[in-house]
Amino acid sequence: MYVLACLSYIVAAVFWSGAATDDVLSKHRFPKDFLFGVASSAYQVEGGRNVNGNGENIWDYFTKTKPEKFHNSSNGDVACDSINKFREDVKLVKNLGVDFYRFSVSWSRVLPEGYSNNINKDGLRYYNDLINELIANGIEPMITMYHYDLPLPLHQIGGWTNPYLAYYFEDYARILFSYFGDRVKHWITFNGGCAGYGEDGFAPFLNQPGIANYICNQVLVLAHAKAYHLYDREFRMLQKGKVGVTLEGNWYEPGSFAVEDIEAAERAREFKLGVYANPIYHPEGNFPKAVRERVDNISRQEGYLRSRLPTFSAEEVEYVQGTYDFLGLNCYTTFLVKDAEEDVSEKTSSDKDIRIKMYQDKQWHKAKSSWLRVYPDGMRKMLKWVKDKYDDPEIIITENGYSDNGELVDIERIKYYQKYLSAILEAIHEDEVNVRGYTAWSLMDNFEWIMGYSEKFGLYHVNFSDPNRKRTAKKSVDWYKKVIRERRVVEIKEVSSRLKGDL
Ligand SMILES: *[C@@H]1O[C@H](CO)[C@@H](O)[C@H](O)[C@H]1NC(C)=O
Ligand SMILES: *[C@@H]1O[C@H](CO)[C@@H](O)[C@H](O)[C@H]1NC(C)=O
Ligand SMILES: *[C@@H]1O[C@H](CO)[C@@H](O)[C@H](O)[C@H]1NC(C)=O
């Protein structure tokens, strides 16, 4: 997982007096056809980065050239060694009793240079074996086509600021649909957005806020649309799958009842989620109007001869709008938002464009990750907001989870899941949000981007000192299994006497 949270904005919550959600679990049940899953991503778990035929991606490159950016200078060269242990991984997935496994394909493992002329047979074989092993065990494969790991040669031509990336992504999509689409029925084109383009906390560390992130934003959206149309034109009739995108769906809550703070929170939602969701999911398409207006205005004030926010032509608006079968949301936490002073002298940044102060309530229970505090009501509110704003799309929660130090008795993780799953049940039954599936992040402890191996989200523990990368079930595995079996949020004490003993 990854959340773009600028720590300097997290200040004490003086204005917030609302009570956090109580601990009452939802009494509702998950619908019969509701799908449960668990997730991982290629660079975070696979390892096998130096095997023959595998190309270099931006994480290979930056963990070597800028090791100081990563906790303990760590990298994903071995990670969980899933490249060798995938059959064991499938056993772990099967043990959970989930319906699907969401994993990502490493672009540079399939196309070493990123381009379609050179296909790595070993890469194809790996994903074919993984897909077949899942299906043989009754688990549906759900593929993320791109989870932050751009092939290095594509980065060298500008990465997602180069409009031609949309074409190269379409070629890559064609190869995935062609080789795997007979068995894969859920495709997620992209995970999240343009991390690393507007800040320094993520590869490719471009750090050109207010410029690079907006260009990347447009190219990603166009690339997604190209892949969707390709599927429609050439694959859908035979393969009968679904194509969607996964967006960062954290909630932005007003820090007070003041009108300007309520507006500031809405502005945050539009700038964080709306810039990706609006072009694809909103009936009118295009960037959100409020974003368009603010960035145009501020660009003018700053002396730019054109807006820093790229424009979609009328043809592109139409081409992109409606290119979805479902919406994937990664939701972990909530941020409080207050209106900030306009400061014309500040230098260009998207924070200046948004003009907010973002923080969290110190009373909300904190996970290991600095940005992750527990506020499940945010999940319910986000789901309702998405339903109302984007014409009631089919939603799959593609990530939700809790970080700690890797404890085997992970009671706080279970409590987190209880509350967030309760919030989802309320959204389904009380707010009639069309949530069709839920994905726990993550299957196992893994390489957590710049945080290296210091924050653990896994249901299974991985011993990273052990060359064999031994996996061990945490308590949350027992709990999640029972939830899936009984299709309701179960109490901790219902799980097992073993667990009670540990409490
Ligand atoms: C943009 O500028 C126009 C003209 O100065 C102004 O009327 C409008 O309120 C501004 N919009 C925003 C969102 O700042
Ligand atoms: C980071 O390095 C220190 C010193 O070698 C070590 O004690 C610690 O366990 C490492 N942390 C992680 C998360 O790998
Ligand atoms: C992890 O593996 C190392 C090396 O095999 C071993 O010494 C250590 O005891 C293991 N740790 C745990 C918690 O099992």
> CA angle 132-189-282, nearest 5°?
140
- Please name which ligand lies nearest the alpha carbon of 466: 3
CB 178 less than 6 A from any atom of ligand 2 = no
Residue 214: C-alpha distances to residues 211, 302, 311, 453, 476 (Å): 5, 16, 10, 30, 39
Which atom of ligand 2 is found nearest the CA of 72? 1
pLDDT for the residue 12: 38
Distance of CA 214 from the midpoint of ligand 1 (Å) = 20
Q: At what angle do helices 121-136 and 82-96 cross, to 10 degrees?
A: 20
Q: List pLDDT tens digits, range 191-247.
A: 999 999 999 999 999 999 999 999 999 999 999 999 999 999 999 999 999 999 999
* Protein residues whose CB sits closer than 6 Å to any atom of ligand 3: 463, 465-466
Which atom of ligand 3 is found nearest the CA of 468? 5
* Protein residues whose CB sits closer than 6 Å to any atom of ligand 1: 293-294, 297
Q: Is 330 helix (H, G, I), strand (E, B) or coil?
A: strand
b/e 33-61 (16+ beta carbons within 10 angstroms → b): ebbbbbbbbbbbbbbbbeeeebbbbbbbb
CB 453 less than 6 A from any atom of ligand 2 = yes
Which one-letter DSSP state was computed for residue 271? I
Taking CA atoms only, the protein residue closest to ligand 1 atom 14 is 294
Cβ pair 193, 217 in contact under 8 A: yes
Q: Which two tokens stand for residue 144?
A: 């993320």
Residue 377: C-alpha distances to residues 18, 19, 211, 274, 404 (Å): 11, 11, 33, 20, 21
pLDDT for the residue 10: 40
Q: At what angle do helices 411-429 and 377-389 cross, to 10 degrees?
A: 30
Taking CA atoms only, the protein residue closest to ligand 1 atom 6 is 297
Distance of CA 72 from the midpoint of ligand 2 (Å) = 6
Distance of CA 61 from the midpoint of ligand 2 (Å) = 22
- Please name which ligand lies nearest the alpha carbon of 74: 2
Q: At what angle do helices 212-230 and 165-180 cross, to 10 degrees?
A: 40
Element (H, E) at 302: helix 289-302
Q: Which two tokens stand for residue 481?
A: 């299994």
Pocket test for ligand 2, best of 63, 71, 72 (most atoms within 8 A of CB): 72
**DSSP class per residue in 214-266:** HHHHHHHHHHHHHHHHHIIIIIHHHH--EEEEEEE--EEEESSS-HHHHHHHH
Tokens 């956090």 belong to residue: 20
pLDDT for the residue 6: 45
Low-confidence ranges of the chain (pLDDT < 50): 6-21, 500-503
Contacts of residue 296, defined as CB under 8 A and 6 or more positions apart, other chains included, come to 307, 309
Tokens 């309520």 belong to residue: 262
Q: Which two tokens stand for residue 238?
A: 């035979």
User: According to CATH, what is the number of the domain 2-499?
Assistant: 3.20.20.80
Domain boundaries, the chain: 2-499
